[in-house]
Amino acid sequence: MSAHPEIYLTPDEYLRIERKAAYKSEYFDGEMFAMAGASRRHNLIASNIIRELSLQLKNRSCEVYSGDMRVRVNNAGLYTYPDIAVMCGAPQFDDEELDTLLNPIVIVEVMSDSTQKYDRGEKFTLYKYLESLREYLLVAQNSCLVEHYVRQPDNHWILSETKKSEDRVDLPSIQCSLALAEIYDKILVV
């Protein structure tokens, strides 16, 4: 992301533009960034995870959102569209439009070769400002790999990696579990 935007936008200006736009853009520190489309693998993996989480969270006070739900990281000046966001309890929104979530508990990003550095680095650093966030999953789309970050009581994050298709990733904050075989269903990973 550029250090100095040519035209500085306020968050309100960004939202006015974004809500009328034909395509999605993220916002950071006064600047808008158009989002690229997603690949077949990306879409299948995200759909698989949404399906599995939605089934496990059925009849519970949690909601699973696809990449069309914008999330605001207020203290970081970021408006973004995670691939998947899970919220439990009462949802908190930025305004009456109900299109910008403030309190996700779990965020999942499906990484591509072009986004993995940002997803692991700067984006994760910004996500850490979300007080509600308890777990962050990074899912590779070109190999069988899930990186799972869990916030600890002292606000540090612990990373674990799962690489075997027969293994599962437990999500204690929402009492769910994801089998890698289900995450990568219909995907031939190399």
The pLDDT of residue 102: 98
Which pTM value belongs to this model?
0.93
Confidence of residue 189 (pLDDT cuts 50, 70, 90): low
Query: CA 46, 50, 53 angle in degrees (round to 5)?
Result: 135
Mean pLDDT over residues 70-94, rounded?
A: 96
Residues 3 and 17 in one domain: yes
Residue 190 lies in a domain: no
The pLDDT of residue 190: 47
Confidence of residue 36 (pLDDT cuts 50, 70, 90): confident
Mean pLDDT over residues 19-38, rounded?
A: 93
Residues 8 and 98 in one domain: no
Residues 100 and 21 in one domain: no
List the one residue out of 117, 149, 139 whose CA is nearest residue 42: 139
Distance CA 105, CA 86 (A): 6
List the one residue out of 169, 185, 188, 167 whose CA is nearest residue 177: 169
Let me know how long the chain is. Answer: 190
Distance CA 142, CA 140 (A): 6
Which H or E element spans position 124?
helix 122-127
Show the domain range for 12. 1-35
Residue 188 lies in a domain: no
Mean pLDDT over residues 83-108, rounded?
A: 97
Residues 86 and 130 in one domain: yes
Residue 134 lies in a domain: yes
Report residue 135 as tokens.
């777990």
The domain total for the chain is: 2
The pLDDT of residue 44: 97
